[in-house]
Chains A and B, each alone.
Chain A
Amino acid sequence: GEDVEQSLFLSVREGDSSVINCTYTDSSSTYLYWYKQEPGAGLQLLTYIFSNMDMKQDQRLTVLLNKKDKHLSLRIADTQTGDSAIYFCAEIPNNNAGNMLTFGGGTRLMVKP
C-alpha cells in the first residue's frame, strides 16, 4: 500500500513500551485499523479508531490519531514476547467502491527477553 507508510522494523525489550507509527494519505478515511500478523498466519484485527477520535485505549493498547498530520500510532504497554509479530495499519479510502482496506507495508516488532 503505497499510500500508507510504516517503518519496517522495531526492536524492544520485554516489559518496555512499543510505539508503532503510521502515516496515511486519505484524510477522508472514516476508520483506521491496526492488524496483527503472527508468523505463518493470516491477519487479525487488533483494534480500530474512528476518525473523529484522538485516542482509543483497549487494555495494553493505545491508539493515537493526529488527523492534521495524518499520523496514526499504536502503543503497546508492557510488551511481551508474545507480541512479536508484524503490525499493519490500514485505512478504507472513501474513493473506493469495494470498501476495501489499503494496508501499510507492516512493522516487524521483535521483543527481546
Chain B
Amino acid sequence: NAGVTQTPKFQVLKTGQSMTLQCAQDMNHNSMYWYRQDPGMGLRLIYYSASEGTTDKGEVPNGYNVSRLNKREFSLRLESAAPSQTSVYFCASRRWGENTEAFFGQGTRLTVV
C-alpha cells in the first residue's frame, strides 16, 4: 500500500521552464491538496480538489495550475518557473469527512535557478 506517491523527488529548473509535478494516491480518497513548504512559513495551500472533477485555489495559487486527472491523480503545473517558486512541494489526500487524517507524500524539492 503505497499511500501518496509524488514524482519527481528532486528537480532543478531554469527560470522560464515548465514542469508538472505528479501525485497519486491509492487510498480512494476524495480530496487532494498541493502545499508548498518554505522555512518558517509552514505549509501553504496552493490548490486543492475537494472531489474528482473540482479544483479550487488555495492561499498561494499564482504561477500554478492543477489537474485532477481522475480520483487517484492530482498534478501541479508550473508554466513558467520563477526563483520564488523554489520550495518543497507536498501533495496530500484525505477521505471526505469532518475529522479524517491527511496523508502526505514525501515531497518534491524544486530549485529554480
Residues of B within 8 Å of A40, CB to CB, are 106-107
Query: Which interface residue of B97, B102, B104 has the most chain A CB atoms within 10 A?
Result: B102
Residues of B within 8 Å of A44, CB to CB, are 104
B53 within 8 A of A: no
Q: Of the candidates A8, A43, A45, A105, which one forms a contact with B90 in the assembled complex, judged by CB atoms under 8 Å apart?
A: A43
Report, as a range, how many residues of chain B touch the other chain. 20 to 34
A18-37 near B? 1/0 per residue, CB < 8 Å? 00000000000011000000
Report, as a range, how many residues of chain A touch the other chain. 20 to 34
B19 within 8 A of A: no
B56 touching A8, Cβ below 8 Å: no
B102 touching A101, Cβ below 8 Å: yes
B50 touching A97, Cβ below 8 Å: yes
The interface-forming segment of B37-45, B70-78, B79-87 is B37-45
The total of interchain contacts (Cβ-Cβ below 8 angstroms) comes to 70
B80-104 near A? 1/0 per residue, CB < 8 Å? 0000000000101010111101101
A42 within 8 A of B: yes
Interface of A is mostly: loop
In the complex, A103→B42 CA distance in Å? 6
Q: Of the candidates B4, B43, B106, B107, which one forms a contact with A88 in the assembled complex, judged by CB atoms under 8 Å apart?
A: B43
Q: Of the candidates B58, B99, B105, which one forms a contact with A100 in the assembled complex, judged by CB atoms under 8 Å apart?
A: B58
Contacts A98-B56, A106-B42 given: A41-B98 contact, CB under 8 Å? no
* Interface positions of A (Cβ within 8 A of B): 1, 4, 6, 8, 30-31, 40-45, 48, 50, 88, 97-106
